[in-house]
Amino acid sequence: MLAGLCLGLLAGGMDAWHAALAAAWLHAQAAVRFGPGLVAEDLPEQVPALMADLLSGA
C-alpha cells in the first residue's frame, strides 16, 4: 500500500523525496483515522476521504 501511494504521487509529478514523505504521512493518517485493528485492506477506503479533506482544506 505504501509503495502504491508513493508510485501514484510520483506518477502525478511529485519528486521522489516529497512523494516518499507524503506517502508515509498519508499512510499514517489513514491508520489514525481508522483506529485499532487496521489491516492493509482497510487503507484504500481511508485514503480517498483523507485526500478529499486535504484538497478541501478541512
pTM for this model (two decimals) = 0.80
Residue 54 to residues 36, 37, 39: CA-CA distances in angstroms?
23, 24, 23
Greatest mean pLDDT among 2-11, 35-44, 46-55:
2-11
* pLDDT-derived band at 8, boundaries 50, 70, 90: very high
* pLDDT-derived band at 43, boundaries 50, 70, 90: confident
> Is residue 27 within 8 Å of 52, Cβ to Cβ?
no
Q: Is the pLDDT of residue 55 over 90?
A: no
> Could you report the per-residue pLDDT of 14-37, keeping only the tens digit for each?
999 999 999 999 999 998 999 998
